[in-house]
Each structure stands twice: as C-alpha cells, then as structure tokens.
Structure 1
Amino acid sequence: MRPRAQSAHGRSFGSLAQLYDDVRPGYPIAAVDLVPTQWAGLDVCDLGAGTGILSRALLDRGTHVIAVDPDEAALASNPAESILGSAEDTGLPSDSVDVVTVAQAWHWFDEGAAAAEISRILRPGGHLLILINQLDVRVAWVLRLSRIMHAGDVYRPGYRPAPVGFDRVGHRLVEFSTPSTVDGVVDLTRTRSYWLRSSPATRNRVEANLRDYLCRELQVEGEFELPYMCLAHLLRLGD
C-alpha cells in the first residue's frame, strides 16, 4: 500500500473510538517495560496514539505524554496532551522527547520519512519502542480465525523493524490472552481496516462466516480466551 493510502486508512478509526477501546487489548507490562529506564519523569511522544490505549498506561507510569495522531476524533478520547500530526510530520520541536512509542501503528507509516522525523524529535541517546499486538496465529484455530477476519496486520514472530538511523537494542515476544465472546470477536473485526473500507455486503458475509466458524465448527459457548502475542521492539537513536 502506498504511503498516502496508508495514511488515509490510518485516519479511519476515530468514528469507532469507544468500540476500539472496548475490544482492543492493552499492552503487556513486560512489553512496555522493555525500555531500560524508569518511565517516571520522561517526556514521551506516543506516535499514532489514537484513542490512548498505550497513552493511558504511560500516564499511569508518571510520564509526560504527548499523543500525536492525524485522527482528531480518535484523539478526543485520548487523556494525554495531544496534537494533530503524523509520523512523518509530528509538529514537535527537535530534541524534545526521551522516548517515542508506536503502538499498533508502525505499518501505517512511511518508514523512511517516519524514521527521519523520529530521529529529529528524539534527544541524543533516545529510544523508539514499537509495540505490535496481534492474534497468536501460531495456534491453528486462531490462524483460521484471523483469515476470516482479514486481520492483515500480522507479522512473523521473527520480524525486526530496521528504521535508518537506529540501532536495535532489545526485542521481546510476550504471550497473553484476553477474554472474549462470539459477539466480541465480531466487534473486534469491526475495528479492522478491511471492515472499515468494505461494502455492507462484504461486512455481512464476514460476520456470517465468523459466527459460523465459532459457533458451528468450534462450538464456542459463552466466554473464551483469545490468544495474543505482543511483539516489542526497542531501538536506540544512533550516534
């Protein structure tokens, strides 16, 4: 997908801000705390911050968070100080933050332009933390589910982002699960970019396929655990 198309799709989530917050999982402590310093007192840019699932966790750790996102409707739900901006043009001053966090948004960025902008706003020796929550497709039934959902933002566990100007200093794969229901999985699917850009007929077909798979083939009843993994990548601004 071209960067301009990526950016357009990345602005689509604000209309579903409350649903997004309700059904998307938070980020495991072990992934967030990959940063090798105490969070308290740090200046952090949460880039592509959206509704604030990660921003809230950072605020709870005592950081000063500036949430940057191009989606004004999504930022309205974010409790952090926020500005309209993009990964390629944050609007922040140079050398202004200690850490840049990117949660569930790296695939929307023009990586080259974003790396240059992140390098500009980070202080010397600053860190970039990339967090990616995704369904644990190593589990056979979850792989099939992700395909029915058209969950396209799935990375191989061995994936390593390599933005220019940064050194890789840490990686962690954290396994976790969240309670869900059949209706919850359908709601989760409604927050996916594929759903948001699909026709009503396609949405109806995807929902019918999901319910058929979960209820008839897997015979799901009530609440069940939905396996996830979080891919956490820590990079440091090069000299």
Structure 2
Amino acid sequence: MTPQPAESALRRGAGPKIPRQARTAHGRRFGTTAELYDAVRPGYPAAATDAVLTGAADRPLDVCDLGAGTGLLSRDLTRDDRVGELIAVDPDEQLLDRNPAQVRVGAAEAIPLPDGSVDLVTAAQAWHWFDPQAAGAEIARVLRSGGRLAILNNQLDVRLPWVLRLARIMHAGDVYRPGWQPHLGPGFTTEPTQEHLFTTMVTVDTVVKLAATRSYWLRSNERTRTRVEANIRDYLAHEVGFDTTGAFELPYLCLVSISHLPTDQ
C-alpha cells in the first residue's frame, strides 16, 4: 500500500466535466430513468465484489453503500454472508425506491450515519459525483478504526478501438486511466487499483437505451438525442458490422480502488 500522493500528482477519474453545482444537479436526474437504468446498466463482476469483501473481519461487516442508486451493488452485498447490516445512501429518492437494502436519503458530503458506525463504505459508479475532499472527511468519520472505502467503477473497455469510438458517439466520458487513485485527504492509505474484465450481452437497442442513462443524454434536448441514437445505430450496423437484430458482447472494465484507515493501537 502507498500513502496518498499530493493532489497535484493525481490523475483525475473519468466523469462529467461540468461545474460542481451543475454536476450535483445532473447527478440527481437519474431517478427520472430509474427503471431503465436498472434494466440496462451492468452489475459488477463477482471478482470485483469479492475483492471488496476479501480479508473482512471474523464477523459480518456493517456496510454503507454510498451513492447506491437503484442498488446494482447493494443487491450483491445483501446476498453475501460477509455483510451484516447494509445501509444504502443516495440523494435521489426515486432511485432508492428500487434499492432492496435499508435506505436513507443523504449525500456523500453529509452521510446520515453516526461516527464510527460502519466497517466498510462502498461507492459504485458514484465517486465522480462527489466532492472528494468533503466526501473523504465524511467517510473517515463514519468508518470504524481500520475501516475501508471501496470505489468501484464500471466503464466501457475503451482500450479496444471499436469500443472507444462507440463511447465517444455515446458521449459516455469513459477514459482508461490505469492506476487512478482517489484523493481522500489525510489518514487513508490506498492499495494499487485493480482491474476486472467482463462482458455483457447487448443488442443495438440495448446500447441506445444504455446511452439514454448517461448524463449527456439526460441533459440534452430531443434533437440531440435523436442524432446520438442515429449515430449509434449507423456505427454498429455499418462500420462495426453487427447484426442489428442479434446480440453481441460489449466489453467492460471494472476498476476497484480500496483505501484503509489505520487501526487504533
């Protein structure tokens, strides 16, 4: 494990490149497409969730799933014997309505939990919406001694040229940054970032629906959405050559960053 580097030396994670206030507003729009988001966004590979829970204490862990949304990660955590109490936190009540865990409305910068109340905080597909300094301080507050933060990010595997082009057409914002680490402030140490490859079966229609869950689409007008959809369909059918009536594998990469607080002596 390595100490946190200076902020100037960090490589920023992929995410919407918009001002903080606007980013917060956009990050709370996903409830308007909660059912679609739940249907087409991929879950997390078993190897990734296992990495998050491996090395756990000899008792079930109390976990806060932060920015939990509809519960793509929460579902896996509720089914794992290594997890005891699970509380899902998100500012969007419409998303939480679909989350199977115990839920609380709240933000990463103001977590509605007592000091030292959980062993593990997870943030799946959510860190880029947070203020890292404020969120880091709040996470440190709610974690017990020796507690951990696990950040999981699914992204299209843009190392593949055809996937990179698709991501750009979708305005997905996915950029491959090997070794990315969050800036959490003092007290945390962070393990080397893990990469877990997986694929999901999709159709051209599924890819269009996937684009419709992205922040670019949600803040665009109908004319822009129509253009993006047409570009996706044309690219996959004519340039990549997929059968527009069949299914194909869409490659993904899950990045997992695990950070630790020290254990009190």
Does TM, scored on the shorter chain, surpass 0.5?
Answer: yes
Matched-pair identity in %:
59
Give the letter for the 1:129 counterpart.
A
Equivalent residue for 1:201, pick from 220, 223, 229: 223
What is the match of residue 15 of structure 2? none
Q: Does residue 121 of structure 1 match 2:142?
A: yes
What is the match of residue 210 of structure 2? 188
Q: Where does structure 1 lack aligned partners over 5 or more consecutive residues? A: none
**RMSD, aligned α-carbons:** 1.4
CA contact (8 A) 1:162 1:168 kept: no
What is the match of residue 228 of structure 1? 252
Give the letter for the 1:15 counterpart.
T
CA contact (8 A) 1:45 1:99 kept: yes
Q: Deviations over 1:179-225 (max 9, x none)?
A: 00100000000000000000110000000000000111112111000
Query: In 2 relative to 1, CA 84–153 (structure 1 residues): closer, same or farther, beyond 3 Å?
Result: farther
2:146 aligned counterpart, secondary structure: strand
1:159 aligned counterpart, secondary structure: coil
Count of paired positions: 239
Equivalent residue for 1:214, pick from 228, 236, 245: 236
Q: Which 4+ runs in 1 deviate beyond 3 A? A: none
What does residue range 63-212 of structure 1 map to in structure 2 within 5 Å?
63=83, 64-164=85-185, 165-212=187-234
Q: Deviations over 1:79-126 (max 9, x none)?
A: 000000000001111100000000000000000000000000000100
- C-alpha deviation, 1:17, in angstroms: 1.2
What is the match of residue 37 of structure 1? 55
Q: Where does structure 2 lack aligned partners over 5 or more consecutive residues? A: 1-17
1:53 aligned counterpart, secondary structure: coil
What is the match of residue 49 of structure 1? 68
Give the structure-1-normalised TM-score: 0.96
What is the match of residue 44 of structure 2? 27
What is the match of residue 33 of structure 2? 16
- C-alpha deviation, 1:28, in angstroms: 1.1
